Structure 1
């Protein structure tokens, strides 16, 4: 498993992350099997959010109850969670009070004294960055949160926060897969008027994050679109699956490893956030952590997904 030190921190992280948004109804044994398989593959980083599960903090609590981490196991595990979504609203809340309440709830549910990384989950149109800064300062000073970041944020939204927040924003979790890669595709076809691919919809977030040492965490790395199903074996992507299957056979890995490697091969040094609860798929995806796709193979997958390479 390929690892690196998360810029702006002293936290060493793997480039594949275990997302735990779907464990709310899983048994203790099933959760332990999933997390244990990931750990055996070198995935020591788990991703949570306060809204994951049937009720607030449900998946965080399920993880803690099933795993019952010892002190040494907790130290060896990077725990990331998110706040800011008010699901019952539905709306978003980056107020000082909501951030503090959410983090305290996460700490209790996770049965831990500290969170390694806290992300603001989705942009709050009513954000007052001074409120965020006050919450972050308090959480950092109390030792409750080691590092901070965002999720689904544009460069302008991040800059607004950075104007007030004193801690570095170390991560931005964004949707990315071979078939859902506008952040990459727009730059490849830049200034091509006839190509919808060239339209910049995110303010150039990929280059912005690279320039500012913000690690991109790719969520839904195997989804064809926005929760429209995976692209594996999809009749909509016959050419892509043919290339994936051929490369999987050549590298002697499952297809999910090739899809993982397409993201980890990018020099932005991204993390892939897995959403599956299937332990075998987690083990298979982990094989793509440091799989050395060539430039030609990477671009072949990109073209087969339907993107233009001028």
Structure 2
């Protein structure tokens, strides 16, 4: 299924699927040779599958995901030219002194970006993504810091994660560069992004966990929607056929049937469901299994028929549409 993504305005070589690096870096607390070998293999598999967009965050594996990626780049610096690298900052994990919190202060964003670049062993980020909204954000201060990072040559573009249209609009009002993407949870299992639209004026609409208009805002302003959790944690794979939950069993069986119909893997059907939406969502896959990476990219060539798409949607909802 050929489509032009909003993000291809900035990165023409980027494809419909991104690779999320949250699974790299082992179990810690220190990197091992096995961790480095795995990272080499996974990165090679992604690139060979025409996935060149790599998504990081400074908190993934407490920084080890970036460290092991940087180790690969230090050993094979030629790979960098074929990659678009994104990383996130803003989440500060709980420690002995502080509760877990979010931080978009100028000092923390600068500190975070410097740490990200050091761990990844790169000179600049293609995309800096703000990880989760900080209630104490001073928008002018943050915008000034982003401008400073851009001027320093440490970032090329800015993006957000887990923001609604009002938060994006407010931040954009202070920025002199466009927000190019927004990464939110979207999958066949997490359906509030769809339920928001179909439940308008219906009983139970107040239970939908999604801010109305966010999809449309991103489409209108050519902001790339990225889907974290896109593979639904594998719950609709073969193991889903034996789930205690009827909805999951029925959806898993449907995925299996459609995989047979379209001659692809189950992973491809789960992602094709997302790709079929006109918002041109870019799924971020996080598996470290090379087989599943290869299965996932099969989704690019699948265009689900309308009745198949709706069958997946309603079955996974577990309830008829209003």
User: Normalised by the size of structure 2, how large is the TM-score?
Assistant: 0.88
Measure how far apart 1:200 and its partner are. 6.6
Q: Check whether the contact 2:5–2:224 (CA below 8 A) recurs between aligned residues.
A: no
Alignment of 1:1-310 (within 5 A): 4=4, 6-7=6-7, 9-12=9-12, 13-25=14-26, 27-53=35-61, 55=62, 57-68=63-74, 70=76, 72-88=78-94, 89-192=99-202, 194-196=203-205, 199=208, 201-223=210-232, 230-232=235-237, 233-234=239-240, 235=243, 236=245, 237-306=248-317, 307-310=319-322
Cα distance in 2 between the residues matched to 1:38 and 1:2: 19
Gaps of 5+ in 2: 27-33
Measure how far apart 1:46 and its partner are. 0.6
Q: Check whether the contact 1:3–1:14 (CA below 8 A) recurs between aligned residues.
A: no
Measure how far apart 1:290 and its partner are. 3.1
Cα distance in 2 between the residues matched to 1:147 and 1:294: 36
Cα distance in 2 between the residues matched to 1:110 and 1:135: 21
Q: Check whether the contact 1:22–1:277 (CA below 8 A) recurs between aligned residues.
A: yes
1:102-122 residue CA offsets vs partner (Å, 9 max, x unmatched): 111111111111101111001
Bigger mean CA offset, 26-35 vs 85-94 = 26-35
Provide the aligned C-alpha RMSD in A.
2.0
Q: Check whether the contact 1:8–1:170 (CA below 8 A) recurs between aligned residues.
A: no
Larger helix fraction of residues: 2
Cα distance in 2 between the residues matched to 1:125 and 1:18: 29
Cα distance in 1 between the residues matched to 2:264 and 2:8: 34
Give SS of 2:300's match: coil
Measure how far apart 1:67 and its partner are. 4.1
Measure how far apart 1:203 and its partner are. 3.4
Q: Check whether the contact 2:89–2:109 (CA below 8 A) recurs between aligned residues.
A: yes
Cα distance in 2 between the residues matched to 1:203 and 1:17: 26
Measure how far apart 1:269 and its partner are. 0.9
Cα distance in 2 between the residues matched to 1:23 and 1:199: 33
Cα distance in 2 between the residues matched to 1:201 and 1:73: 38
1:191-216 residue CA offsets vs partner (Å, 9 max, x unmatched): 11x24487473232111211121111
Cα distance in 2 between the residues matched to 1:78 and 1:3: 19
Gaps of 5+ in 1: none
Measure how far apart 1:147 and its partner are. 0.8
Measure how far apart 1:73 and its partner are. 2.2
Give SS of 1:21's match: helix
Inter-CA distance 42–299: structure 2 relative to 1 (3 Å threshold): same
User: Normalised by the size of structure 1, how large is the TM-score?
Assistant: 0.91
Q: Check whether the contact 1:183–1:204 (CA below 8 A) recurs between aligned residues.
A: no
Bigger mean CA offset, 23-32 vs 74-83 = 23-32
Give SS of 2:136's match: coil
Cα distance in 2 between the residues matched to 1:140 and 1:71: 23
